[in-house]
Copies of this chain bind each other. A is one copy, B any other.
């Protein structure tokens, strides 16, 4: 083939404040190697865009638009929750991918996602061997859950951590002001269904200069109502108030999510609430003090306005490295963040084999959680601190709102006759 080989890039799973920074890294680096890489086609709504031949021509975007992605949250090309089955189980999907890749001369596959996506990327990486179609698949790490193995941390996590720590500190100051006659307990629900990394960040709200009583409920620690109430009571006694950071994934003794309380409305319909109101009810029943609760939900992972500078830099760097790995002939790998020192913080990008990444979850080590199960250890602080460090503010417009990029997202002309139902 004399034509230059094109690249496919897609965003997968839940988006983050910095996944577009990775996209920016991929596209800018590919543009810097025009002699070796043709165009970068992005999948509209992730891998679905590849299956349906709905490709976005990123070469139609200006250099400034691609640069602006670095400070724009969310997935600029759309993401999806769609997991490819194995080649044996669903050969038709892989055949379709190859048809689309072939039609558009795609030889590089960049997949930006978490653990499930790493598995998809691994499967695509095996297509060369199994089908003979030459494709190199590189996974770019992304997940607010911070649960990918090998890499020291995951792009997307540092910014959520910063948001949760800042929010917990701010709300705690608020509660401290009100505690004398009003609210004594503030509860913040955060993401993390399996691993407590995000909840742990709430503990960073407190430090020597600014001591704040924060009780964390980790998914790794079974909820013990008695111990929890004692913890909150002791904090109120000492500080006058208590802040609670609760992970959505906290489970009670019977293994069920604490959030799953079988709530019914006045008509008997089941209600799915968050875990924060459940914890609030427990506070009310057992302590009878005034409480407030918040659920951060998407706000936490979309909060580009308070993104961590470290996180933005790493997200961009993994995008850059992914392209460099592809150009070096690599396949089935992922750029991983390697930490060589806590203080001063030093990191570089290394290479992880996808076989060692896919379908493995990294939980919080037990020694990152204090013995009582409600706090973070010094070791955890040393780990978290540099990931949240530095600010990287977006530009603001005349109404006081951040200027986030919206791309043109112009579709590549379809070349295949058949459409594909997903």
Contact = CB atoms under 8 A, between A and B. Distances in A.
B305 A298 contact: no
Interface string A191-216: 00000000000001101011000000
B398 A385 contact: yes
A210 to B, nearest CB: 6
Contacts of A73: 170, 173-174
Interface string A54-91: 00000000000000000011111011111000000000
A14 B76 CA distance: 38
A203 B295 CA distance: 21
B298 A295 contact: no
Interface centre among A76, A171, A205 (most CB of B within 10 A): A171
A400 B404 contact: no
A293 interface: yes
A420 interface: no
A406 interface: yes
A417 interface: no
A80 B180 contact: yes
B308 A297 contact: no
A153 to B, nearest CB: 13
A355 interface: no
Contacts of A264: 263-265
A204 B399 contact: yes
A310 to B, nearest CB: 8
A176 interface: yes
A78 B180 contact: yes
A401 B177 CA distance: 20
Interface string A227-238: 000000000000
A400 B393 contact: no
B181 A45 contact: yes
A182 B296 contact: no
A330 interface: no
Contacts of A165: 399-401
Interface stretch (A32-40, A268-276, A356-364): A268-276
A262 B389 CA distance: 44
Given A11-B177, A400-B165, A292 B281 contact: no
B169 A401 contact: yes
B80 A181 contact: yes
A315 interface: no
A266 B271 contact: no
B177 A74 contact: yes
Interface of A: 11, 14-15, 17, 45, 48, 72-76, 78-82, 162, 165-167, 169-171, 173-183, 186, 188, 204-205, 207, 209-210, 261-266, 269, 271-274, 276-277, 280-281, 285, 292-299, 301-306, 308-310, 381, 384-385, 388-391, 393, 396-404, 406
